[in-house]
Every structure is written in C-alpha cells, then in structure tokens.
A and B are shown apart, each in its own frame.
Chain A
Amino acid sequence: MTSSTAERSPSRRAGRQRHDTFRYRDGKVAYLLILPVMILLGIFVLWPAVYAGYLSFQNWSFYKDPEFVGWKNFTDVLKDPLFYATIRRGFMFVLMTVPVMLVLAFLFSSLVVSVSGRFAGVLKVSIYIPTIISTVITSIVFVLIYDYSGGLLNWVLAYFSIDPVAWIGDPAWALLAIAVPAIWLGMGLTSLIMVAAMVDIPQEFYEAAAMEGANWWQKTLYITLPQMKNIILYLLITGFVAAIQQYELPLVMTGGGPLDSTTLPNLFIFNHFRNDVNVGYSIAAALLLFVVLGTVSAVVFRILNSEKLVD
C-alpha cells in the first residue's frame, strides 16, 4: 500500500495500512534473511531453468550466437530412434530394479520388526551403509567383481560349472550388471522407510488377528500390505523417478556401452551434451524426458490411488 491510495479512502485504507504495517513489521529483516537463498536459487536453479526453456528453441553452441529454430530441437529428438531406444532402456532398468528393491525391502522390514532390538539395530545400520558409498567407489568395486577371468562372480559360477560371462562386456548382460549395484546403493533408504512405516501399524490389528489364529502370511496379506499401501505407492513412484534418472553408474562402469546397451536416458543426454555442439538438442531431450517421467508418475499415482486410501 502506498500512502497516496490510503489518503483517497481514509478510514478503511488507513486501518488496513496500519494493520499491514503492524503485520509486516518484520518485513525488512525477513527479506534480508531469505535474500541469500533466493539469490543463489535464482542464479543457479531458476535462471538455468528459464534459460533451458529458451535454449530449447535455439540452435546454439558455445561458439556461435543463438538462432531461433522453433520446435526443431524437439522434433529432432522425437524423430531420433536412439531417443526412443534410450527411453525403452530406461523402463527396462526400472523393471529390473524397482520391483526387486520393493520386495526385498518388504522382506527386510518384516524381519526387522520381528527380531530383538539389538539385532534389528545392527540390521538397520548395515543395510544403510551402502547408501553413503559413492557411485564411483561402487562402480570400481563391482567392475572388479564382474571381471571376466579373475572376478569373484565368475569364480562362484564356476563352482556350479557355469561358463564365465562377460558381465559388462556383453550387451545382453550389461544393463542387469548395472542394475545390481543400483539396487545395492538404493536398498538402504527404501528399506528403512518401509521399516518406519511397518513399525507404525497399530499392534491391536495383529493381536486381533492372532486371536483368530491367523498365520504370518495371512497377517501380511490382510493387515500389513493394506496398511502400507501409501508408503508402497510413495516408494514405487520415487523409485521409478530415481531409477529412470540413473546415469552415474553406467557413466563410470561402462560409459554407456557396449553397443549403447547401458545408455540410460540421462546418460544419453549427458553424452550428447558433451559431444554435440548444438546444446538445444540435449536440453530439448532433457525436457521431453521430464514430460515422460511426470506423465508416468501421474498415471501410476492415478491407477494405484483410485480407491480411497487408508490413512
């Protein structure tokens, strides 16, 4: 409110102004306090986001002035068979990782809530340790475990007289070989969120079921699973979003090869950005991936959330 508007309709405006002056008496301090965060986010998040929107319509590289090309970058991406291949691969990767993680995490938390406190504590701490290990170290370790002639995995397989496999050298196996460390890295958080949710289920439900002679399987099916519906949905969507965006593991382990078999969507974009002079194409691809990601998340949410949730 400026003072001139307040003068024109005296009583109400003046009252409002007095009220606002009182209400916002800390305004100056507040702006000073949020200023650093807003400036930093402005420069390094908001501006890059706006800039990405702008550049996706330009033919631009570090060496020349931008040239407006309309939707060309987007249509180029949508005409590129490699883009579709990489999205398909992303979904394959999701299917290899997310269901396994959810099932294992469910098993893990069922175990944790049924054992003594000390053992449960050790289990929780142990399962979380891989989460804090970097992708680079994980990649180094797993690549050596997968080594064709001297690696641990082929040595174990030899015990069962299975021929050695070139895990990350064979296009048929490479994506799976990357899924395993991805699960290893992601299990900790998924499991502990499951545990937290399972601990929160009211004890009375199980007591009542026990009185009626329900076994573990029945309790899980009729009490635990329905009670955890929210959290499973949450983990499904966050797991999907994380898995389809994974690119550090293939970047370090295989660089996307062999024969593009581990070029997940974001790695496709990242490699494009590093090799292609037209930055617009990479940004358009990143924006299109985001559309795919948002759509699938929304659809999954809609389908699984169609019934009224038990809260």
Chain B
Amino acid sequence: MRTAVVPARKHHHTPAWWVGSVLKVLVGLVFLVAALFPLAWMVIAGFKSKTEVIATPFQFFPEVWKVENYTQILSDPSFLLTMGWTSLGALLFTVLGLTVNSLAAYAFARLEFRFKRTLWVILIGTMFIPGMTILLTSFIVVTRLQMLDTLAVLVVPGAASAGVVFFIRQFYLNIPSSLEEAAMLDGCGRFSIFIRLFLPLSKPPFVVMGITSFLAYWNSYVWPILTITSPEKFVLQQYLATFRSERSTELGLLMAGSTLAAAPVVILFLIFQRQIIGNIKMAGLK
C-alpha cells in the first residue's frame, strides 16, 4: 500500500499525520454513506406504515417499527410466485449460458478448424451491434417464433454471449497444454478432455460469469415488459414496477418488497465479492 512509501519514522504521529488520517476516514465515510444510504433508507422504510414513508415532516426512522410489511408481502402468493419464477428463470439462464458459452470457448481456445478466424471475428462482431436496434428486431423475431409470454423468451435469446465466450476463452488459453497431452495419450477424446479436465478447472470464470448472468436476468426489466404480458408470468422487476403504479399508496409494502427483491443479489455479491472485485482488474485492462 502507498502509505508504506511515507518514511514511517518521520511522519507517524505528527499532527499533520493525524489530520491527514482523520480527513481520509471522513472522506471514506462520505463515500460509504453516499453508496449505502439509499439502500439503508429503503430497508428502514419497509418498517414504516403507509403514511410514514413520505410523511410531512419527513422522518427517517419509523414511529413504531412494523414487521407487518415484510410478513405481509412474504405471505402474498403472487409475490412468492414471482420470486420463485424469477429465480427459476435466472438459474436456467445462467446454466444454459455457461454451458453453451464454455463449449464454444473451449473450441476457440484449443481446437483447430476451418474458418476459425472468420467465425471468431463474426462472434466478436456481435458485441458491437447497437443494443437498441436488435432489441426492436429481436422482439419481432420472437413474436414470429411464437415465443411471447413464455419462460423461453426470457431465457433463450440472451443465453449465448460473445462477451462470456471471450472471457472464458481467455481463461482456457492459460491452462497449460501439457495436461491435455497427457490425457490424449491416455486415449481421451476432445470432448471428454473438456468434461474431465477443463470443466473442473473452470470454477473461477464460471463464478464471475455465472453471477453476472444471474444478476442480468434478475434485474432485467425492459425485455420482460415487451415480451411478458400475463401477470402470473411477470418477473420480479416487472412485478415491482406494476405494484408501484397500481398500489401507489402502499409505500411501506413497496419498500419491503423492494428490499426483499434486492436481498438475494446483494447476499450473492457479498459471498463472492472477492472474485467479482478481483475480476474487475481484468475487465478494465483488457
């Protein structure tokens, strides 16, 4: 760390050092509060009664802490159904994505085949197609394919991703080929090498890309509002947005619902924060 540069014997515990340290802690706390305050307020507002969330005069803490909002929304079958439906979709999306993308990543990292370069350029080229353009025409395509209002329309179209293939391929390129040669001498085919050798080693890129996919699905809103119309098939974000417009007075309940909707991904992030933050280095410098 950079503090090590400052010759310790001279500067430690001088008034200037103390002022500097206190200042750093204060600035750090400002960042911390700015990042977490809106969420903290959301969680706390979930304990408020209907009228307290945006009462005049404003109150940060509730008069009486009510657990009712949380228990009520957790016993609402439509909320639970939506949570379950979204979790199922997110899991399917993640598993399907990791499967197809890692297979392609392995082929592009290790195998030789005709038109490899051309296919690779096409694959990478898909990352540069403007999102809004294909959002509109993809909608037309899934309409034609009669996929509207099904789970498939949420899971399948976004599963293959050039970015994910690229990321996993980078990782596979760094696996020493001597391991593979040994396996080939033992008579393993390419596919069984992938299953027995590469897959067990794939945990780091799978964790990072798996969480990225899960998050993308969990937080998606625009594609679902275009393609899903039956309320019982709504995804979580769609449910919250509809709740907000249709039951706009029940703010305490809305805040409790939002808190519960954010909780799973925040927990997931906190569990894997080391891997996710560690990966950002690569993303930035590639």
Contacts and interface: CB of A to CB of B under 8 A. Distances in A.
B130 A286 contact: yes
Interface in B249-284: 251, 254-255, 258, 261-262, 265-266, 269-270, 273, 276-277, 280-281, 283-284
B254 A132 contact: no
B170 to A, nearest CB: 16
A78 B195 CA distance: 54
A187 B35 contact: yes
Interface stretch (B73-81, B96-104, B200-208): B96-104
A207 B111 CA distance: 47
B107 A251 contact: no
A282 B136 contact: yes
A147 B54 contact: yes
Interface in A109-141: 111, 113-117, 119-120, 122-130, 132-138, 140-141
B141 A44 contact: yes
Nearest to B276: A128
A202 B164 CA distance: 31
A128 B273 contact: yes
B45 interface: yes
A67 to B, nearest CB: 16
A197 B285 contact: yes
Contacts of A189: 280
A80 interface: no
Contacts of B156: 40, 44
Interface string A275-294: 00001001100110110010
Contacts of A142: 38
B5 interface: yes
B68 to A, nearest CB: 19
Given A126-B35, A135-B221, 18 more contacts: A26-B190, A30-B190, A33-B111, A38-B119, A44-B157, A113-B2, A117-B1, A119-B28, A125-B277, A128-B273, A132-B265, A133-B265, A134-B261, A136-B219, A144-B251, A203-B5, A231-B285, A283-B136
A33 B262 contact: no
A140 B24 contact: no
A52 B137 contact: yes
Nearest to B143: A62
Contact of B56 (A24, A47, A149, A184): A149
Contact of A140 (B27, B104, B254): B254
A125 B273 contact: yes
A287 B108 CA distance: 31
B114 A184 contact: no
A155 B132 contact: no
Nearest to B261: A137
B205 to A, nearest CB: 15
Contacts, number: 279
A199 to B, nearest CB: 8
A36 to B, nearest CB: 4
A234 to B, nearest CB: 7
Interface string B193-215: 01000000000000000000001
A147 B131 CA distance: 32
A152 B36 contact: no
10 closest A-B pairs by beta carbon, nearest first, are A150-B54, A40-B160, A155-B58, A193-B284, A134-B219, A48-B137, A33-B107, A196-B281, A30-B113, A37-B104
Given A24-B113, A140-B258, A111 B280 contact: no
Contacts of A127: 31-32, 35
Q: Among the interface residues B24, B111, B137, which one has the most CB atoms of the partner chain A within 10 A?
A: B137
A133 B240 CA distance: 13
Interface in B1-35: 1-3, 5-7, 24-25, 27-28, 31-32, 34-35
A303 interface: no
B104 A33 contact: yes
Nearest to B58: A155
B5 A210 contact: yes
Contact of A49 (B35, B134, B191, B219): B134
Interface in A204-242: 206-207, 210, 231, 234
